[in-house]
Amino acid sequence: MARRHGWSEDQIQNLADFEKRSDFTAAEKAALRFAETMTSHPQELGDAQWTELRNYFDEGEVIELAAAIGLFNYFNRFNDALKMEPTK
């Protein structure tokens, strides 16, 4: 999906370093920060992060982003609990 949206193989392989990279847009970085926070410590989502998201995304887009992150977190936890490996 990332490739279809124009991300390079290098961006995908080095996604963990997105903060240091200049080839991610400010909106992409805000969304990735949101995904990290929502995944690792959602109780720490604060007003500043919501404001940052709203600088780039409208209310509906923020909801869609949160839903997608939540859904993929669910898939990951479900698969991890059942010790399932991804298949093609």
Distance CA 5, CA 49 (A): 24
Query: What does pTM read for this prediction?
Result: 0.84
Tokens for 45, please give them: 């989502």
Mean pLDDT computed over 22-34: 95
| pLDDT for position 21 | 93
| pLDDT for position 84 | 87
What residue has token string 């929502």?
Answer: 38
The mean-pLDDT minimum among 2-6, 23-27, 36-40 falls in 2-6
Q: pLDDT grade, residue 30 (50/70/90)?
A: very high
pLDDT at 22 > cutoff 90: yes
